[in-house]
A = this chain, B = another copy of it.
Amino acid sequence: MNRIQHTRESLIAMLRRHDVNPTHQRIEIAYALFGHGAHLSADQIMARVNGRHSETSKATVYNTLNLFLEKQLIREVIVDPNKVFYDPNTEPHYHLYDADTGELTDIDASEVTISGLPQLPAGVVTEGVDVIVRVRSRLR
Q: Interface on A for B, CB 8 Å cutoff?
A: 76, 78-81, 84, 96, 98-99, 107-108, 111-118, 120, 123-137
* A125 CA to B114 CA, complexed, in Å: 22
Q: List 7 contacting pairs A-B, 8 Å CB cutoff, sorted by A.
A: A78-B78, A114-B114, A117-B133, A124-B135, A127-B136, A129-B133, A130-B131
Q: Secondary structure of the A side of the interface?
A: strand
* A99 CA to B78 CA, complexed, in Å: 13
Q: Are B134 and A129 in contact (CB under 8 A)?
A: yes
* A33 CA to B120 CA, complexed, in Å: 26
Q: Which of A112, A126, A128, A133 has the most CB of B within 10 A?
A: A133
* A137 CA to B108 CA, complexed, in Å: 29
